[in-house]
A and B are shown apart, each in its own frame.
Chain A
Amino acid sequence: MRVLLVEDDDLIAHGIQAGLRARGLTVDGVKTAAQAEAILSAVHYQVVILDLGLPDEDGMSLLQRLRADGMALPVLVLTARDAVEDRVAGLRAGADDYLLKPFDFDELVARLHALLRRAAGRSVAIIEQGALRLDPERGQVSLNGHPVVLSRRELALLAALLHARGRILSVDQLKDSLYGFSEEIESNALNVHIHHLRRKLGADLIETIRGVGYRFNMGDT
């Protein structure tokens, strides 16, 4: 799951990025509204964390413009402005959620997962697919009731495939959701992660569509 963090304060941005990475999310950080706009048009993200006090433009007007341009990504607004009017204005401008600084990190993570869940059209936090059970927020996976230990990348890969609900995801799409901008990717890294997932969860769980990509075997096709 790939997150874009738009935050101009270095210290806060470092903290959020480090924390989200530790929680198995892939995060890219930008500091200005212009950078945010540029990167959003180039990379596919699942969720955006937006600070309102940006140096070049108010986060609220950036959000309004992005929504007007048809961006449908869930956006969590992060701000120090706590007046009710500010919150209402933020939600009206197209924010999906609103979190006040200083926030509790666990709450931020929980809200991000809730946003993703709603964006994927699910109402419960836990994804169940046949005998497989994934709690994306806690990073816990179980198969037939037995817990399975997955690495951070494997978890992210499994979550991306499950979110796609049987749609085929290209190699690039999968890499996008696994790695941030700053991370080095080895050419066969994705294959390695797919291999490990198959070993841990069963070989037929992930189908390879030759020349296209991968998809999760929903069991009904």
Chain B
Amino acid sequence: MSLRLRLLLMIGVSLSLLWGGVAVWMLRDLDDEMRRTLDQRLAMSARMVAGLISQNPAAWDRRTGTAGDSALTVPATAKGIACQVSSLRGEVFARTPGATSAAIATTTPGFAEREIDGERWRSYTVEAHGLRITTADRLAERNTLLRDVMAAAIVPFVVALIGSLMMLWIGVRSGLVPLERLRQALASRAPDALTPIPDAPMPRELQPLVDTLNQLLERMRVTISRERRFTSDAAHELRTPLTALKTHLQVARITRGKDAEMALDYAEEGAARLQYTLQQLLTLAQVEGPFSWDETQRTYANEVARLAMRDAAPDTPELIVLDSDGPPVELALPQALAVTALRNLLDNALRHSPAQHSVRLEIQSAQDAVCFHVYDSGPGLSADELTRVTQRFWRRDAGRGSGLGLAIVVAITERCGGSLALAQRPTGGLEASLTLPRAKRESPLFPSTPQADSRP
């Protein structure tokens, strides 16, 4: 239901009910008041007639109770009103011409109502000075008068109600104009537009809504532009080895002998690079995405070190020197992630170390974390490079590595609540410290979901 319809219905219905109730109340009051007033007038006119007759004794003989020599004549009055003067015994001295005898021939004083000749009359009888005076109103006349008064009172009421409803409609319409403007502004935007809503003057109530929308749009814009940059970077990273691969394959086709063989070797190198970059991209997507790992398998620091060393230097295990303290410690993250993170650090260390120089891996266990230190004897990184080295696709030299290794390590630490610190060693080379959280459980009683609470 639209906001406008809702407002109109709510206010309109309550306004009509309120006004209707007041009108009914007022009409009932008016009806009562009118009847009382008319009755009073009936009684007053009866007493008035009695008073007048008592001042004119010639009209009747008090002792005999008969009509006197001076005849009492009553002129014809308006239709619907009657008056009769009679003795207590029932002799009629005077009567209005239109009045039927039966109509006013009551004997009991006070108000009475009866039907004569199909018409209802209301009468009032008073007894004074030995006379009985009765006045009567025809009820049909009275009701016509009542209806007229009611109508006169109700018509302005209805007009005012209709007027109010119209004003309400106009008011709600114009009151909702800013909302409608906002709706149009939103509807006319391109579906992928992420620019803020123009800062037009807004009612105070709408401003927070517009502000929130703009904040949301800004957040979306930042996210989308970051994703776009990543996609474009990723495309670039994939295109480079693909270009090498394609070029060398085409060169192999147009050359012969040794040249062609060399081109094929190069093409293979390009394919390997493409495969490596793709693998790293997939790993990053998995680490950052909603994917889950096998978490029933327990992860031990020394096992992680062993697997990472095997992966980083499968043919030259002597290049990595392990220096571990104490017993195996359990880690609070899936083994595959821990191995990937450590292997990437070892890869980097080996890649940047001079040929045949070994890399040292040290494992330190603390209360609630395990720290893997990787020391290499490479050229290290400048302060500026240290700030950029974990950015995706940042590399010092083109063609070495995918530029994703450290970004993956950072993504893994963010996922599991660890950290990565890189520092230039005073003796030259780089020290990379990977801190991973220890598992909280002490006993194997709770084999499942111990990692869930330590993950962000």
Chain A residues near B (Cβ < 8 Å): 8-12, 14-16, 18-19, 22-23, 53, 55, 80-83, 101-106
Contacts and interface: CB of A to CB of B under 8 A. Distances in A.
B247 A12 contact: yes
B207 interface: no
Contacts of A14: 248, 266
Nearest to A102: B243
Contact of A101 (B242, B266, B399): B242
B241 interface: yes
Given A102-B239, A102-B242, A9 B248 contact: no
B225 to A, nearest CB: 13
Given A9-B398, A22-B251, A105-B251, A15 B236 contact: no
Contacts of B273: 11
B12 interface: no
Contacts of A104: 246, 250
A80 B240 CA distance: 7
A55 B266 contact: no
Contacts of B248: 11, 14-15, 18
A26 B154 CA distance: 106
Given A101-B242, A105-B247, A18 B236 contact: no
Interface string B251-274: 100110001001100100110010
Contact of B247 (A8, A10, A19, A53): A19
Given A22-B259, A53-B236, A55-B398, A11 B254 contact: no
B397 interface: yes
Interface string B37-76: 0000000000000000000000000000000000000000
A125 B250 CA distance: 23
Given A18-B263, A22-B259, A9 B240 contact: yes
B251 A101 contact: no
Nearest to B255: A22
A8 B245 CA distance: 16
A55 B397 contact: yes
| 5 A-B pairs with least C-beta separation | A15-B247, A105-B250, A11-B244, A102-B243, A80-B239
A138 to B, nearest CB: 12
Interface residues of B, number: 27
Contact of B240 (A12, A19, A22, A103): A12
Given A9-B244, A105-B254, 15 more contacts: A10-B399, A11-B269, A11-B270, A12-B244, A15-B244, A19-B247, A19-B255, A23-B254, A80-B236, A80-B239, A80-B240, A82-B235, A102-B239, A104-B250, A106-B250
B143 interface: no
Contacts of A12: 240, 243-244, 247
Contacts of A101: 239-240, 242-243
B263 A15 contact: yes
B232 interface: yes
21 contacts: A9-B240, A9-B399, A10-B398, A10-B399, A12-B240, A12-B244, A15-B263, A16-B247, A18-B259, A19-B255, A53-B398, A80-B236, A80-B239, A80-B243, A101-B240, A101-B242, A102-B242, A102-B245, A103-B243, A103-B247, A105-B247
A182 B136 CA distance: 139
Given A11-B270, A55-B397, A80-B239, A18 B255 contact: yes
Contacts of A8: 398-399
A10 B270 CA distance: 10
B198 to A, nearest CB: 25
Given A55-B397, A55-B398, A80-B235, A22 B247 contact: no
A104 B251 CA distance: 10
A70 B261 CA distance: 42
Contacts of A11: 241, 244, 248, 266, 269-270, 273, 399
B242 A18 contact: no
Nearest to B237: A80
A106 to B, nearest CB: 7
A6 to B, nearest CB: 12
Contacts of A16: 247
Contacts of B235: 80, 82
A68 B235 CA distance: 31
A11 B240 CA distance: 9
A81 B232 contact: yes
A53 B254 CA distance: 28
Contacts of A23: 254
A68 B239 CA distance: 31
B231 to A, nearest CB: 11
A5 to B, nearest CB: 12
Nearest to B251: A19
A46 to B, nearest CB: 21
B399 A19 contact: no
Contacts of B239: 80, 101-102
The interface centre, meaning the residue of B242, B245, B247 with most chain A CB atoms within 10 A of its CB, is B247
A53 B270 CA distance: 18
A14 to B, nearest CB: 6
A12 B249 CA distance: 11
A22 B247 CA distance: 13
